[in-house]
Amino acid sequence: MYLEDLPIGTRWSAGNFTMTAEEVVDFASRYDPQPMHIDPQAAASGRFGGLIASGWHTAALAMGTLVRARIFGDTAILGLGADQIQWPAPVRPGDVMHVDVEVVGNTPSKSKPDFGVVKIRTIAQNQRDEVVLVMTSNCWVPRRPVGQVPDLPAQSS
């Protein structure tokens, strides 16, 4: 896909992922070793009333879901950074998250005319329809080469 194939408003349902207690503890033990992520007993008496996943873990699993869904086709999702990342509700072991993506910006590069920036908003919701992740990120995408005609979908007769 090229920048020109990704107009604002384009949406995808990227798929689902499930958070397990083992993954919560393993990830957090390595990258975010706080009691609410790694110690079920301490977490039970804490403000969340039980073990919760690190927000960074949730973001990483959402990213993996986007990559596996191939939302940009054969074009790699090359991130330039994130404008926003929020974790409005905790993710608990056993939660099943659904990931949706929308193009919210599409800007040709002024300094590199063969590329542009596509801004995507990723939203993950759990099985209770609670939003657990909102992330707005910028992706580096090639522009369609001059003179190349876009592929048109096959028409059925």
In a domain, 150, yes or no: no
Tokens matching residue 38 = 């790694």
- Averaged confidence pLDDT in the chain: 93
Place of tokens 């990227």: 14
Instruction: Dig out the tokens for 4 from the structure.
Output: 């020109």
Q: CA-CA distance, 42 to 53, in Å (whole number)? A: 14
Query: pLDDT, tens digit, for every residue of 116-149?
Result: 999 999 999 999 999 999 999 999 999 998 766 6
> What percentage of residues in the chain have a pLDDT greater than 70?
93
Residue 116: half-sphere exposure toward Cβ, Cα within 13 Å: 17
How many residues would you count in the chain? 157
Q: Give domain status of residue 62, yes or no.
A: yes
What the block records as the tokens of 62 is 């959402």
Q: Which domain holds residue 68?
A: 3-142
Segment 76-110, tens digit of pLDDT: 889 999 999 999 999 999 999 999 999 999 999 99
The pLDDT assigned to 123 comes to: 98
Residue 127, Cβ neighbours under 10 Å: how many?
A: 12
pLDDT at 150 over 70: no
Q: Please, are residues 65 and 14 in contact by the beta-carbon 8 Å criterion?
A: yes
Residues 6+ apart with CB under 8 A from 75: 1, 2, 141, 142
- Is residue 78 domain-resident? yes
Residue 156 included in any domain: no
Confidence of residue 157 (pLDDT cuts 50, 70, 90): very low
- For residue 154, is it within any domain? no
**Count of domains for the chain:** 1
The CATH number of residue 65's host domain is 3.10.129.10
- The answer to whether residue 113 sits within a structural domain is yes
Token pair of 35 as six digits: 């009691």
Q: pLDDT tens digits for 38-65?
A: 999 999 999 999 999 999 999 999 999 9
pLDDT, residue 156, reads 46
What is d(CA 36, CA 34) in angstroms, rounded to the nearest whole number? 6
Q: How many CB atoms lie within 10 A of CB 45?
A: 10
The first and second tokens of residue 14, run together, are 């990227």
